[in-house]
Structure 1
Amino acid sequence: MDLHYEVHGSGDPIVMIHSPGVDMREWVFIVPHLAKTNQVVIFDGRGAGKSPSPSEPTDYVDDLLKLIDHLGLKKVTLVGHSMGGQIATDFTLTFPDKVRKLVLLAPSLTGYTYSSEFIQWMQSVNAVAPDVKKLVELSLSGPNYRITMSSPHQDFLYDMTRHHMKKVFTEWENFEMTWPEPPAIERLHEIKVNTLFIQGDKEWKDMFRIAEHFQEVPSIRFTLIKDADHMVTLTHPEKITNDIQLFLQDG
């Protein structure tokens, strides 16, 4: 296994998949609490943190499978944030027998067509590449970060994002990603496991549209956190932890 990972605690396993642009450190305020009752696995996705950067098209679902098999885990609860939630969703659809429960924090979704407003914003950010300083500043000035960037976690998020951007533009050899087909947006009704969907109320409109698609999941519950943006893992870790623990205890 070439991905950098850590295992904390013991009990029924939870595997946590971080958001893009940061690394597994985003779980720093949540893991210690979940590890009191569960085995918690966190890892740096390919190209992030201390994991190797991609030299060929990246298959994040396959990476997750290899990690779970490497650790000898038979069935896990997946917790995925942002694109980590997209990975968790696709993994659940591809390997349903390996997932006990699914927790999604403001997930993205394969097959979803983003609005022109969001696409134009991303293009404006990418236009300043490879200037890492400008990339970080523009990325974190988006409306989906305004709560976090006015919180005590501002510097922490800035440091993680800067580390990631620097890694992307100095180490990455390939920027392609491969995802299972057909896309998850067409198959959400096939998810059989109990699912918890959490997001903040200060987000891009696209994130709320994605949430509407997830209503197709047969057994899903939604939690909206007031005065929270995309980085709910940093600003509201107690709420996230409590919701996950109650969800795991409920059947």
Structure 2
Amino acid sequence: MKRLRQFNHFKMSITCLLGTSLLFSTFLATAQPEYNAELDGFEYPHPVNRFEFESQQQNLQMAYLDVTGPTQNGKTIILMHGKNFCAATWENTITPLTKAGYRVIAPDQIGFCKSSKPQAYQFSFHQLANNTKQLVDSLGIEKVTVMGHSMGGMLATRYALMFPEQTAQLVLVNPIGLEDWHKKGVPYQTIDKNYQAELNKSAKGIRNYQQHTYYVGKWEPRFDRWVNMLAGMYAGKDKKLVAWNQAQTSDMVFTQPVVDEFENVKVPSLLLIGEKDNTAIGKARASKQLKKQLGHYQVLGEQAAKAIPNAKLIEFSDLGHSPHIQAPDRFHKALFEHLR
């Protein structure tokens, strides 16, 4: 009888353990949200508008935020997101800008976030800049300040080069492309290989990369929102299309440098650089010796400020690739002190 009770107790313990394990496994399976190709279900900080237009013989839609505050100064600023970012990641910047009187337009570029993901599209910074200009024109806006972060810095530079008369100022926040990786010797990688690399991305890998590149090895729970946003698209039912567009834009970033055209920028420019940033596209496939020479933003920021006429450089010695997210109060104080 005693043995039977012990056996029943053991069986109950195993059942509870299995149940707990199952619940934990279920939690892990459901903890990571899944989003479709247009990020449905992920809430943006402001209402999302849609700009419908035709490009490359297909009908597309560009999602964008259009936000104003209680008072307006008559100025408009366009916020251009990076490759691993969306319009929503500007949420901490949109609020102080609108309080200062700016009208803020924050689009999701074609191929990203809540905008169309075309299966066949010739991605170029020229094309994305032209798409954005069409959006600006449709809103009846004559002149804008363009502010770009990461890949958005390359796009903002291209926009200023293409439309100098309609650009009031160029603001670059840790832009990538301050060096020409291919010219420095980083080997080219085909879009097909880019695609396989994108398919292998996971929430864990995204988090690790962001922690060490965006936030200088530190992590706060508020950063998880941006990991879930990006990883959710890679985990969703449209992950192959998402990965394909990401692979195409990786090729665009690598093969379409803007650094050699900095001297042609005709508008007042402001660079805000987190010096602990070490972003360099293709660094993982570079030689050991070359890796040591790439992604030194404490040097690249100074070089860019010298190359761009009428440029002002603000440096944050302790911040990484996303200073506006990592330390928003300090970042915005510096931004408003020098925003012309």
Q: TM-score, normalised by structure 1?
A: 0.83
How many aligned positions are there? 244
| Cα offset, 1:164, TM superposition | 4.6
Matching residue within 66, 75, 79 for 1:7 = 66
Give the aligned partner of residue 122 of structure 2. Answer: 57
How far off its partner does 1:84 sit? 0.3
Instruction: Rate the CA distance shift 1:30–1:107 in 2: closer, same or farther, 3 A.
Output: same
Q: Match for 1:154: what amino acid?
A: F
- Kindly state the Cα deviation for residue 32 of structure 1 after the two structures are TM-superposed: 0.9
Structure having the higher Rg:
2
Question: Does residue 206 in structure 1 map to residue 278 in structure 2?
Answer: no
Identity of aligned residues (%): 22
Give 2:41's aligned residue: none
Q: 1:24 maps to which residue?
A: 87
Alignment partners' CA distance in 1, 2:207 and 2:295: 22
Corresponding residue for residue 47 of structure 1? 111
* Unaligned ranges ≥5, structure 2: 1-50, 52-60, 279-293
Stretches of 4+ moved more than 6 A in 1?
A: 116-120, 124-127
Aligned Cα root-mean-square deviation (Å): 3.1
Q: TM-score, normalised by structure 2?
A: 0.63
More displaced 10-residue stretch of structure 1: 84-93 or 67-76: 67-76
1:98 matched to 2:166? The reply is yes
Output the CA distance in 2 between the equivalents of 1:214 and 1:165: 36
What's the offset of the Cα at 1:64? Answer: 1.5
Q: 1:136 aligns with which of 194, 206, 214?
A: 206
Opposite residue 228 of structure 2, the aligned amino acid is: D
Maintained 8 Å contact 1:92/1:191: yes
Task: Name the CA shift for 1:182/1:18 in 2 (closer, same or farther; >3 Å).
Answer: closer
Structure 1: segments with no counterpart, 5+ residues: none
SS of equivalent residue, structure 1 residue 245 = helix
- In the TM superposition, 1:99-138 aligns within 5 A as 99-109=167-177, 112-113=180-181, 129-133=198-202, 135-137=205-207
1:34 pairs, out of 97, 102, 107, with 97
Distance in 2 (CA, whole Å) between partners of 1:65 and 1:54 is 19
Secondary structure in 2 matching 1:153 = helix
Name the CA shift for 1:138/1:238 in 2 (closer, same or farther; >3 Å). Answer: closer
Larger relative CO (CA 8 A, sep 6+): 1 or 2? 1
Distance 2:305 2:148 in 1: 14
In the aligned structure 2, how far is the partner of 1:73 from the partner of 1:119? 39
Give, in angstroms, the shift of residue 161 of structure 1. Answer: 2.4
- In 1, the alpha carbon distance for the partners of 2:275 and 2:256 equals 30
Aligned to 1:176: 248
Cα distance, 1:182–1:135 mapped onto 2, change above 3 Å: closer
Q: Tell me, what secondary structure is at the counterpart of 2:62?
A: coil
